[in-house]
Amino acid sequence: MTQSTETLTARRDRLLGENTPLFMMLRSFTYLGWWNERRNEFYVGLYRARAGGCLWSRLETLSEEDLELTLSINLKACFRLLKVALPSLRQSEHGRFLVTSSVTGPKVAMPGAVHYGAAKAGVNAFVRGAALELASDGITVNAVEPGYIQKPDGFLADPAQRSRFEQYIPLGRLGDPDDIAWAMVYLASDEASYVTGQTIVVDGGALLPESPDLISTVPNEG
């Protein structure tokens, strides 16, 4: 266990001890398992099998089934989970509803992921609308938009692919699950009690440059 993980675990335990209902729409990264420990205090929606996933398909070959599945997993599940969560959230002093969105859709586009991007853009609209509607109940609704996160499987598990993507990230590395976990922990904490309807981008600065060529160089003036 790394020092970072130990620190995050300690923070998790403190949050669990506060008896604050927390509902999260989560992806299947390892950090998500933390919130499944004490269901009487934390209620967690874990959509593990293909949660937050993209069924890659170009528009001309996208089936109605895959479109519906993508919308159901990434967007409709937010509505369904919130409806289940609302009674407990309203009984709490400061409920939290957290969603994992994505930079794909709200910020950038990717060929073969138009349906996924549209769903995630919808998630961000859901966050803003739900935050406004539930603010009078003292409930906050927020999201995290991960960039490229290192996982043990998938195309980024290949060292050559990982190196290729890292050169376009200003901080020079892929994200770690802990990077996303820290953002979630903040949004679940008392320190974020005045934050609602927001999405936090955690991408190592990947969205900052106007061009990949400008990550570490300054264009000639004139």
Which residues are tagged catalytic? Answer: 116
User: How crowded is residue 213: how many other Cβ atoms within 10 Å of its Cβ?
Assistant: 9
Q: What is the DSSP-derived secondary structure letter of residue 175? A: B
CA angle, 165 then 171 then 177, to 5°: 75
3-state secondary structure 189-213: CHHHCCCCCCEEEECCCCCCCCCHH
Q: Which amino acid is at 111?
A: P
Q: Which amino acid is at 133?
A: E
The pair of three-digit structure tokens given for residue 80, joined into one six-digit string: 């369904």
Strand partners, 100: 144
The pair of three-digit structure tokens given for residue 149, joined into one six-digit string: 């996160």
Answer whether 138's CB lies under 8 Å from 93's CB: yes
Distances from the Cα of 14 to the Cαs of 7, 183, 186, in angstroms?
A: 11, 16, 12
Answer whether 100's CB lies under 8 Å from 199's CB: no
Answer whether 124's CB lies under 8 Å from 101's CB: yes
Helix (H) and strand (E) counts in the chain: 6, 5
